[in-house]
Amino acid sequence: MKRKIELVNNELTKIYPANTALNSILADSMNYSLSAGGKRLRPIMLMAAADAAGTNGEAFCRIACALEFVHTYSLIHDDLPAMDNDDYRRGKLTNHKVYGDATAILAGDALLTMAFDIITSVNTVKPDILLKVIKELAYAAGAEGMVGGQVIDLQSENKRINIDELRKLHSAKTGALFCAAIRIGAILAEASDEQLQALTRYAKEFGLAFQITDDILDVIGDNEKIGKPVGSDEKNHKSTYVSLLSLEKAQKLAKASVDNAVQALDIFGDTADFLQSLAKYLLTRQN
Amino acid sequence: MKRKIELVNNELTKIYPANTALNSILADSMNYSLSAGGKRLRPIMLMAAADAAGTNGEAFCRIACALEFVHTYSLIHDDLPAMDNDDYRRGKLTNHKVYGDATAILAGDALLTMAFDIITSVNTVKPDILLKVIKELAYAAGAEGMVGGQVIDLQSENKRINIDELRKLHSAKTGALFCAAIRIGAILAEASDEQLQALTRYAKEFGLAFQITDDILDVIGDNEKIGKPVGSDEKNHKSTYVSLLSLEKAQKLAKASVDNAVQALDIFGDTADFLQSLAKYLLTRQN
């Protein structure tokens, strides 16, 4: 895991400074959030899915980084005063607290746009495959995925939603991009339909377990380790798996999702070991 | 022109409602700005460039609409309180005045993202050509183009910049997307290098003339016809071609750019008539 994070971080440094010569403040703002760390889960999952399907996933590290651009843009916009109004992220001030709202909005816009530029610049993958990759990403990040989920999230503040609505919200807001990461890895590996379906099942269960454990951490986590204040869901009157189900039931549901995720990859041999471990790690994550 | 606008408007209605089933408020917000009218210049220029290069440009109407998605997103974000803080656009309240800042930011994000989804969904163009199209668009809309230009624009408020800086600003903020529209049309028509270069020269001169005439309209235009208050540049302490050069000199420079644009297309026969007329129209535009 540590080695994979370093691989992604190293690749990220190769991409972003070279592409931002026009305006140094915009470049600084983009780089500030891109280099803020994080687990690089989406790029790592993309590469691991390609590994599972029998190719060398690291060969797709550049495309994997495009997902981190999209993820980073979404965090910058989510943190804005007009949205969640968060001051801290990963232990650092949020982008708009440092660069102001306007530059933060534009840095997010530029990161999203550049993600597509990055993918089209890859010349080691066949054009028809790259187009499928772009389509997966654009769909997952758009109105039917991440952005749509964020709108539902904002609409759901200060009111009690039920567990089905919560699931729909997160399946769009965070699940869609995990799903795209895994599916893009499979597409790049030219996986069979059976493999693609199994990996998609894994991604959906992973996304669910990720969100439940995120909600749990917001209740019982450690400020220092998370890098932002715990209790923000309660403060923002957000429905969570914990508030709707109880802590104990949420923990059980997380465990069940992880089991399902692991099981979904049974058709693979040990090429899927890493993805299975990644799902299990969610149950012990501390940030 | 009128027929082409109708063609684009008709194609737009085919795209956007179908893709926004997850959240109706998000869909409403996107559609509100997409359907607010406007001259649909960028889609029309894309199709006209393909016409000039000897194919039937209307066959690329769907891809042309993707440019209108990108243009519309940029207007929504530019109008935000954190940016230009405008209340009216094309005679209607701006998006955030109707839907709130959060939804407006997200509607912009979704429009930008969906533009790439739209292009990847076209199956009548070869994948390697579509990839070139996406690359042109992503580059023009990103940190080195439109978004980078908007950051410079915001940084230039309340201070006097010189004419070279003004040109650089607008060449990125508005010029890059005009340039992409024309170049994408040429790429789709599989134009020769000579044709692509001539069309690119046209696009750059067109972009310059467009911006100068925009600045002129903000001084001597008619509120009703423009759909927003004149004098906003002065209100926002923005440097313009008029404020830096004088009205008369700005008019002369606009005329010279239009002449250059028209001349750039001399290598084409009458297939470029429409683009030449479009450049000339800038000198008499009222909105």
Q: How confident is the model at residue B109 (pLDDT cuts 50, 70, 90)?
A: very high
d(CA B286, CA B51) in angstroms, rounded, equals: 26
Contacts with A97 from chain B: Cβ below 8 Å: none
DSSP code for A53: T
Cβ contact, residue pair A151, B106, below 8 Å: yes
Q: How confident is the model at residue B12 (pLDDT cuts 50, 70, 90)?
A: very high
Cβ contact, residue pair A112, B112, below 8 Å: yes
The shortest C-alpha distance from B65 to chain A (Å) reads 16
d(CA A218, CA A83) in angstroms, rounded, equals: 18
Most confident region among A11-25, A44-58, B213-227 by mean pLDDT:
A44-58
What residues contact B119, with CB distance under 8 A and at least 6 apart?
A: B63, B66, B130, B133, B134, B137
Q: Is the ipTM of this complex over 0.90?
A: yes
> What's the average model confidence in pLDDT over A224-231?
70
Cβ contact, residue pair A113, B23, below 8 Å: no
Q: How confident is the model at residue B157 (pLDDT cuts 50, 70, 90)?
A: confident
Cβ contact, residue pair B142, A21, below 8 Å: no
Tens digit of pLDDT for each residue in B112-144? 999 999 999 999 999 999 999 999 999 999 999
Q: How far lies A224's CA from each of A44, A84, A161, in Å?
A: 24, 20, 30
Q: How confident is the model at residue B164 (pLDDT cuts 50, 70, 90)?
A: very high
The pLDDT value recorded for residue B231 is 77
Query: In chain A, which residue's Cα lies nearest the Cα of B130?
Result: A131
Evaluated on CA atoms B88, B94, B97, B102, the torsion sign reads negative
- The candidate with the shortest Cα–Cα distance to B113, out of A113, A111, A117, is A113
Q: How confident is the model at residue A287 (pLDDT cuts 50, 70, 90)?
A: confident
Contacts with B172 from chain A: Cβ below 8 Å: 22
By Cβ distance, the residue of B102, B138, B154 closest to A117 is: B138
Interface subset of B 76-115, CB within 8 angstroms of A: 77, 80, 82-83, 100-103, 105-106, 108-110, 112-114
pLDDT of residue B21 exceeding 70, the answer is: no
The pLDDT value recorded for residue A19 is 53
Tens digit of pLDDT for each residue in B22-68? 788 999 999 999 998 889 999 999 999 999 999 999 999 999 999 99
pLDDT of residue A91 exceeding 60, the answer is: yes
Asked which of B88-92, B162-166, B203-207 is least confident by mean pLDDT, the reply is B88-92
> What's the average model confidence in pLDDT over A28-51?
95
Domains, chain A, ranges and CATH?
2-284 (1.10.600.10)
Interface subset of A 133-172, CB within 8 angstroms of B: 134-135, 137-139, 141-144, 147-152, 154-155, 172
> What's the average model confidence in pLDDT over A7-19?
81
Provide the 10 A C-beta neighbour count for residue B173: 22
Which two three-digit tokens encode residue B247? 């009205």
Contacts with B112 from chain A: Cβ below 8 Å: 109, 112-113
- The candidate with the shortest Cα–Cα distance to A153, out of B9, B123, B22, B118, is B22
What residues contact B2, with CB distance under 8 A and at least 6 apart?
A: none
Contacts with B142 from chain A: Cβ below 8 Å: 19, 110, 113-114, 117
Question: ∠ CA A255-A256-A262 to the nearest 5 degrees?
Answer: 90
CB B147 within 8 A of CB A113: yes
